[in-house]
Structure 1
Amino acid sequence: MNTRDTQPAGSAIVHDEKAKLDFSSDMSYSDYLHLDTLLGSQHPLSPEHNEMLFIVQHQTSELWMKLMLHELKAAMQSLSADRLQPCFKMLARVSKIMEQLVHAWDVLATMTPPEYSALRPYLAQSSGFQSYQYRQIEFSLGNKNAAMLKPHSHRPELLAQVRHAYEAPSLYDQALKALHRQGLAVPDNYLHRDWTQPYIVSAEVEQAWLTVYRDPDQYWDMYQLGEKLTDLEDAFRLWRFRHVTTVERIIGFKRGTGGTSGVSYLRKMLDIVLFPELWRLRTDL
């Protein structure tokens, strides 16, 4: 029998003379990722076993949202500079991040109503809708609501970040500007407007997108842009739906910890359409 067949798993690393095992004077994996800080950031307030799931679920979601914002900001900068290929790659990555967030609800859904009820009093008024990263994502995707600035007013540095996303053109606004630069007819009042105001559906904008979709060979880049945006909103809709069903499964129709109506509020969010003309045009193709 070959002695290699009986070696325990991982022993090959020990016998690899080039493998570095002493990190007393060099940066290690843990050092690079600041794992002591990261893994020391879970501080349950209750005696409940399930609170660790609740904390890790939301902290990892915030990490994914940090990456999503990183990609979204870069994608919008690339789009405004007509660097479309990098923009497409970044938007595709944002959609994949959103898929990760969708699947994360599967883990939280293992928490039963009695388990959540036991830890809920320890959450006080904290709620996911207060996430300043999530609010920046919503604003960057065009769902502007001035009332959502208020939860961050007690932290001026965070309020400044959220307000910047609120006052800036959204991803879709930048897409319409790109359409215009490609010679497509986009109304001037959609190219220069108050970016804080809710987007209003435009028949002229839909016609511009229809021109693209009816001749994708001529307008290939804009066609690709339209589909990347559709992919993103599709993934975002799935995240919102999974959010609603998970919350209803765990708390039913109780009010949210932050004072919202809970499931009723989340169901209203399902009706929000971020890139409306891209969905409407499909009926007319």
Structure 2
Amino acid sequence: MAQTIEHHGAQLDFSRDMSYGDYLQLDAILNAQHPLSPDHNEMLFIVQHQTSELWMKLMLHELQAAVANVAQDRLPEAFKMLARVSRIMEQLVHAWDVLATMTPPEYSAIRPYLAKSSGFQSAQYRRIEFMLGNKNPAMLKPHEHRPELLAQVQAAFEAPSLYDEVLRLMARHGIAVPAENLARDWTQPHVASDGVKDAWLTVYRAPQAHWDLYQMGEELVDLEDAFRLWRFRHLTTVERVIGFKRGTGGTGGVSYLRKMLDVVLFPELWTLRTDL
């Protein structure tokens, strides 16, 4: 029997082979929340982190494609993807606003049920950090218990970061980039250098002559700006909810997150502004 309803004079047929819920796999998604505590507020904690992981899945999808496009000089596509990554980051920033409604007593009621689980074990987040250039071999360890996830994180750790690929792009476009930034040990974080800053200054002092690279620089600044806001809201939310207690996995909590605020992903794009 056809399932139809009338909407503004039109007959809508819902008897197709695939429904909205089928396409989005809503049964699996909406039944993936299994609170371990009897506390009402655990559902907020679970949903906030699950939705953040979904946004990070999309971010990785876009970042990987953006890096590949930069490596192939397909810049219009890369710009679109990087702009989308920045907007995804804004979504993640606002997600903390919801979690911040959880008070310290509410979190304390569910914390024992979290055992040793920790955001440090988010393989997707670690891959994002590595793709953006914040390389740290110690951050491979939290994933050793899952070999298939460790392999994905390791691959991101060993590959050129987005910034590495952008610097190689600049060299291909005739900008003088120091040779040590074009072929190096990609597992090491980028170290700020005057030579790279001079390369960017060449672009920023003549934007019309280097418009694509100029736009790339601003896309990277947009992305890091959004990422800084995400880190700051993470810090303030954790401080608001747990104070200065250590994280569930034994991490430093607020002290570690404060240190992360000092990490600069694309340093020369920020320091060059003083020279313009």
Give the TM-score category using the shorter length.
Answer: over 0.9
Distance (Å, rounded) in 2 between the aligned partners of 1:87 and 1:164: 21
The answer to whether 1:213 aligns with 2:204 is yes
Q: How does 1:106-185 map to 2 (within 5 A)?
A: 106-185=97-176
The answer to whether 1:96 aligns with 2:87 is yes
Q: How does 1:12-27 map to 2 (within 5 A)?
A: 13=7, 15-17=9-11, 19-23=12-16, 26-27=17-18
Q: CA deviation at 1:12?
A: 5.2
Q: CA deviation at 1:22?
A: 2.5
Letter in 2 for 1:241: F
Letter in 2 for 1:22: S
1:33-54 deviation digits (Å, cap 9, x = unpaired): 1100010100100000000000
Distance (Å, rounded) in 1 between the aligned partners of 2:136 and 2:261: 16
What's the counterpart of residue 261 of structure 1? 252
Letter in 2 for 1:20: D
Distance (Å, rounded) in 1 between the aligned partners of 2:178 and 2:266: 16
Gaps of 5+ in 1: 1-10
SS across alignment from 2:209: coil
Gaps of 5+ in 2: none
Q: CA deviation at 1:198?
A: 1.8
Corresponding residue to 1:196 among 162, 170, 187: 187
Q: How does 1:39-58 map to 2 (within 5 A)?
A: 39-58=30-49
| Larger mean Cα displacement after TM superposition, 153-162 or 73-82 | 153-162
Aligned residues: 272
TM-score by length of 1: 0.94
Corresponding residue to 1:85 among 62, 66, 76: 76
The answer to whether 1:32 aligns with 2:13 is no
Residues 27, 210 of structure 1: CA spacing in aligned structure 2 closer, same or farther, 3 A cutoff?
same
Distance (Å, rounded) in 1 between the aligned partners of 2:148 and 2:264: 30
1:174-195 deviation digits (Å, cap 9, x = unpaired): 0100110110111111100000
Q: CA deviation at 1:258?
A: 1.1
Q: CA deviation at 1:136?
A: 0.1
What's the counterpart of residue 7 of structure 1? none
Q: CA deviation at 1:13?
A: 2.2
Letter in 2 for 1:76: V
Q: CA deviation at 1:108?
A: 0.3
Distance (Å, rounded) in 2 between the aligned partners of 1:109 and 1:12: 43
Q: CA deviation at 1:15?
A: 4.7
Distance (Å, rounded) in 2 between the aligned partners of 1:20 and 1:116: 46
Q: CA deviation at 1:21?
A: 2.5
